[in-house]
């Protein structure tokens, strides 16, 4: 999917294996993040997508 997106100019250039691994690491970190009412907020979805998708 990343390679096809790169070919279409929709995803950022770079090693697709590294892009996929790093994006999954970010998602994994978010899934394990403990949130309290007063502390951390989830990162903006648009910011996360800009890691791999041209906007």
pLDDT tens sequence across 2-53: 899 889 988 889 999 998 998 888 888 877 776 555 566 777 888 878 777 7
Q: Is residue 55 part of a domain?
A: no
The confidence score (pLDDT) of residue 34 equals 64
Max Cα-Cα span within the chain: 43
Supply the pTM of this predicted model: 0.63
Q: Is residue 18 part of a domain?
A: yes
Q: Is residue 23 part of a domain?
A: yes
Distances from the Cα of 13 to the Cα of 2, 21, 22, 28, 49, angstroms: 9, 15, 14, 22, 14
* Integer Cα distance of 41 and 38 in angstroms: 9
The confidence score (pLDDT) of residue 36 equals 56
Based on the structure, what is the number of domains in the chain?
Answer: 1
Q: Is residue 7 part of a domain?
A: yes
Q: Which domain holds residue 15?
A: 2-49
The confidence score (pLDDT) of residue 40 equals 66
* CA torsion angle 46 49 53 55 (round to 10): 0
């Amino acid at each position: 999917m990343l390679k096809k997106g790169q070919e279409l100019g929709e995803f950022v250039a770079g090693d697709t294996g590294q892009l996929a691994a790093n994006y999954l690491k970010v998602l994994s970190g978010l899934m394990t993040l403990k949130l309290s009412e007063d502390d951390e907020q989830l990162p903006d979805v648009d910011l996360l997508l800009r890691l791999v998708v041209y906007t």
